[in-house]
Amino acid sequence: MQTAVNGLNEECGIFGVWGTKEAAEVTYYGLHALQHRGQEGAGIVANIDGRLRQERGLGLLADVFSKGDRLRDIMGATSAIGHVRYATSGSNSIENIQPLLAHFSDSQLALAHNGNLTNQVTLRRELEDQGAIFQSTSDSEILMHLIRRSQAPTFTAKVKEALNQLRGGFAFLLLTPDALYAALDPHGFRPFVIGQLPTGQYVAASESAALNVVGAKLIRNVQPGELIKIDNTGMQIDHYTEATDLHIDAMEYIYFARPDSDIYGVNVHTARKRMGANLAAEQPVEADIVVGVPNSSLSAASGFAEALHLPNEMGLVKNQYIARTFIEPTQERREHAVKMKLSAVSSVVKDKRVVLVDDSIVRGTTSMYIVRMLREAGAKEVHVRIASPAFKYPSFYGIDMQTTAELMAANYSLAEMTAKIEADSLAFLSVDGLVDAIGLQKQASGTGLTTAYFDGHYPSPIYDYAESMQAFEDAHLVDYMEEPTCKMHTLQPE
Amino acid sequence: MQTAVNGLNEECGIFGVWGTKEAAEVTYYGLHALQHRGQEGAGIVANIDGRLRQERGLGLLADVFSKGDRLRDIMGATSAIGHVRYATSGSNSIENIQPLLAHFSDSQLALAHNGNLTNQVTLRRELEDQGAIFQSTSDSEILMHLIRRSQAPTFTAKVKEALNQLRGGFAFLLLTPDALYAALDPHGFRPFVIGQLPTGQYVAASESAALNVVGAKLIRNVQPGELIKIDNTGMQIDHYTEATDLHIDAMEYIYFARPDSDIYGVNVHTARKRMGANLAAEQPVEADIVVGVPNSSLSAASGFAEALHLPNEMGLVKNQYIARTFIEPTQERREHAVKMKLSAVSSVVKDKRVVLVDDSIVRGTTSMYIVRMLREAGAKEVHVRIASPAFKYPSFYGIDMQTTAELMAANYSLAEMTAKIEADSLAFLSVDGLVDAIGLQKQASGTGLTTAYFDGHYPSPIYDYAESMQAFEDAHLVDYMEEPTCKMHTLQPE
Amino acid sequence: MQTAVNGLNEECGIFGVWGTKEAAEVTYYGLHALQHRGQEGAGIVANIDGRLRQERGLGLLADVFSKGDRLRDIMGATSAIGHVRYATSGSNSIENIQPLLAHFSDSQLALAHNGNLTNQVTLRRELEDQGAIFQSTSDSEILMHLIRRSQAPTFTAKVKEALNQLRGGFAFLLLTPDALYAALDPHGFRPFVIGQLPTGQYVAASESAALNVVGAKLIRNVQPGELIKIDNTGMQIDHYTEATDLHIDAMEYIYFARPDSDIYGVNVHTARKRMGANLAAEQPVEADIVVGVPNSSLSAASGFAEALHLPNEMGLVKNQYIARTFIEPTQERREHAVKMKLSAVSSVVKDKRVVLVDDSIVRGTTSMYIVRMLREAGAKEVHVRIASPAFKYPSFYGIDMQTTAELMAANYSLAEMTAKIEADSLAFLSVDGLVDAIGLQKQASGTGLTTAYFDGHYPSPIYDYAESMQAFEDAHLVDYMEEPTCKMHTLQPE
Amino acid sequence: MQTAVNGLNEECGIFGVWGTKEAAEVTYYGLHALQHRGQEGAGIVANIDGRLRQERGLGLLADVFSKGDRLRDIMGATSAIGHVRYATSGSNSIENIQPLLAHFSDSQLALAHNGNLTNQVTLRRELEDQGAIFQSTSDSEILMHLIRRSQAPTFTAKVKEALNQLRGGFAFLLLTPDALYAALDPHGFRPFVIGQLPTGQYVAASESAALNVVGAKLIRNVQPGELIKIDNTGMQIDHYTEATDLHIDAMEYIYFARPDSDIYGVNVHTARKRMGANLAAEQPVEADIVVGVPNSSLSAASGFAEALHLPNEMGLVKNQYIARTFIEPTQERREHAVKMKLSAVSSVVKDKRVVLVDDSIVRGTTSMYIVRMLREAGAKEVHVRIASPAFKYPSFYGIDMQTTAELMAANYSLAEMTAKIEADSLAFLSVDGLVDAIGLQKQASGTGLTTAYFDGHYPSPIYDYAESMQAFEDAHLVDYMEEPTCKMHTLQPE
CA–CA separation, D16 vs D26, rounded Å? Answer: 9
- Chains C and D form CB pairs within 8 A to the count of 71
CA–CA separation, C207 vs C212, rounded Å? Answer: 10
Q: Edge-to-edge strands of the sheet including B381-386?
A: B289-292, B353-358, B381-386, B425-428
**pLDDT for D398:** 56
Q: How far apart are the first and last CA of chain C?
A: 46
CA–CA separation, D414 vs B198, rounded Å? Answer: 88
Q: Which amino acid is at C55?
A: E
CA–CA separation, C372 vs C339, rounded Å? Answer: 11
CA–CA separation, A91 vs A85, rounded Å? Answer: 11
What tens digit of pLDDT does each residue of C444-464 get? 666 688 888 888 877 777 677
Q: What is the CA radius of gyration of chain A?
A: 23
CA–CA separation, C390 vs C361, rounded Å? Answer: 7
- Asked whether residue D4 carries a pLDDT value surpassing 50, the answer given is no
* Phi (first) and psi of residue D82, to 5 degrees: -140, 170
User: Any contact of D with B, at least 3 CB pairs below 8 A?
Assistant: no
B131 touching chain A per CB within 8 A: yes
**Region of poorest pLDDT, from A424-438, B3-17, B24-38, C77-91:** B3-17
Query: Beta C108-117 vs C79-85: how paired, if at all?
Result: unpaired
Neighbour-count burial for A86-96, b at 16+ CB within 10 Å, e otherwise: bbbeebeeebb
* Helix ranges, D342-388 (H): 346-349, 365-376
To the question of whether residue B455 is assigned a binding role by annotation, the answer is: no
C213 touching chain B per CB within 8 A: yes
CA–CA separation, D83 vs D35, rounded Å? Answer: 9
**What number of other Cβ atoms are within 10 A of residue D239's Cβ?**
18
Chains with 3+ CB–CB pairs under 8 A to C are B, D
C102 touching chain D per CB within 8 A: yes
Element (H, E) at D428: strand D425-428
The minimum CA-CA distance between A326 and chain D, rounded to whole Å, is 7
CA–CA separation, C468 vs A109, rounded Å? Answer: 71
Give the 3-state DSSP-derived string for A122-169, with helices as H, strands as E and coil as C.
HHHHHHHHCCCCECCCCCCHHHHHHHHHCCCCCHHHHHHHHHCCCCEE
Q: State the ipTM, two decimals.
A: 0.86
Percentage of chain B with pLDDT > 70? 86
pLDDT by 10s per residue, chain A, length 494: 222 233 333 479 999 999 999 999 999 999 999 999 988 899 999 999 999 999 999 888 988 887 667 788 888 899 999 999 886 443 557 778 899 998 888 889 999 999 888 898 899 999 999 999 988 878 889 999 999 999 999 999 999 999 999 998 899 999 999 999 999 999 999 999 999 999 999 999 999 999 989 999 999 999 999 999 999 999 999 999 999 989 999 999 998 899 999 999 999 999 999 999 999 999 999 999 999 999 889 999 999 999 999 999 999 999 988 766 555 556 666 777 888 899 999 989 999 999 999 999 888 889 999 999 999 999 999 999 999 999 888 776 655 555 567 788 888 999 999 999 999 999 999 999 999 999 998 776 666 888 888 888 777 776 777 777 677 667 665 333 333 222 333 333 33
- pTM comes to 0.85
CA–CA separation, A32 vs B164, rounded Å? Answer: 50
What tens digit of pLDDT does each residue of D44-71 get? 999 999 999 999 998 889 888 876 677 8
Torsion A479-A482-A483-A487 (CA) sign:
negative
Neighbour-count burial for A295-323, b at 16+ CB within 10 Å, e otherwise: bbbbbbbbbbbbbbebebbbbbbbbbbbb
To the question of whether residue B296 is assigned a binding role by annotation, the answer is: yes
What tens digit of pLDDT does each residue of D210-225 get? 998 999 999 999 999 9
Pairwise CB contact (< 8 Å): D103 & C130: no
The minimum CA-CA distance between B380 and chain A, rounded to whole Å, is 49
Q: Which amino acid is at A433?
A: G
Concerning whether B12 is annotated as a catalytic residue, the answer is yes
Pairwise CB contact (< 8 Å): B124 & A105: yes
Q: Among all residues of chain D, which has the CA nearest to that of A28?
A: D325
Find the catalytic residue in A6, A8, A11, A12: A12
**Contact residues for A343 (Cβ-Cβ < 8 A; gap 6+):** A316, A317, A319, A373, D33, D209, D212, D213, D258, D260
Say whether D492 sits in a helix, a strand or coil: strand
Residue of C213, C298, C311 with shortest CB distance to B340: C213
Nearest to C166 by CA among C227, C92, C252: C227
Q: What is the dihedral of CA C131, C136, C137, C138, to 10 degrees?
A: -110
How many Cα atoms within 13 Å fall on the side-chain side of residue D486?
2
D124 touching chain C per CB within 8 A: yes
Query: Beta C13-18 vs C202-205: how paired, if at all?
Result: antiparallel
How far CA A6 is from CA of A87, A89, A401, C177, D161, in Å, comes to: 11, 12, 8, 65, 68
**Contact residues for B354 (Cβ-Cβ < 8 A; gap 6+):** B287, B288, B289, B290, B291, B315, B374, B379, B380, B381, B382, B383
Pairwise CB contact (< 8 Å): C71 & B326: yes
What tens digit of pLDDT does each residue of C324-361 get? 655 555 666 677 788 889 999 998 999 999 999 999 98
Say whether A94 sits in a helix, a strand or coil: helix
- Give, in degrees to the nearest 5, the angle at Cα A17 between A14 and A20: 155
Pairwise CB contact (< 8 Å): B267 & C345: yes
Q: Among all residues of chain A, which has the CA nearest to that of D347?
A: A267
Q: Among all residues of chain A, which has the CA nearest to that of D307?
A: A311
Angle at which helices A268-282 and A431-438 pack, to 10 degrees? 140
Say whether B399 sits in a helix, a strand or coil: coil
Q: Which residue has the higher pLDDT, C236 or B463?
A: C236
Which residue of B275, B310, B327, B343 is the best one to mutate when testing the C interface, meaning the one whose CB has the most C CBs within 10 A? Answer: B343
Q: How far apart are the first and last CA of chain B?
A: 46
Q: Which amino acid is at B69?
A: D
**What number of other Cβ atoms are within 10 A of residue B29's Cβ?**
23
- Asked whether residue D367 carries a pLDDT value surpassing 80, the answer given is yes
The minimum CA-CA distance between C407 and chain D, rounded to whole Å, is 29
Q: What is the dihedral of CA C71, C72, C75, C79, to 10 degrees?
A: -20
Say whether D5 sits in a helix, a strand or coil: helix
Say whether C456 sits in a helix, a strand or coil: coil
Contact C438, C266 (CB under 8 A): yes
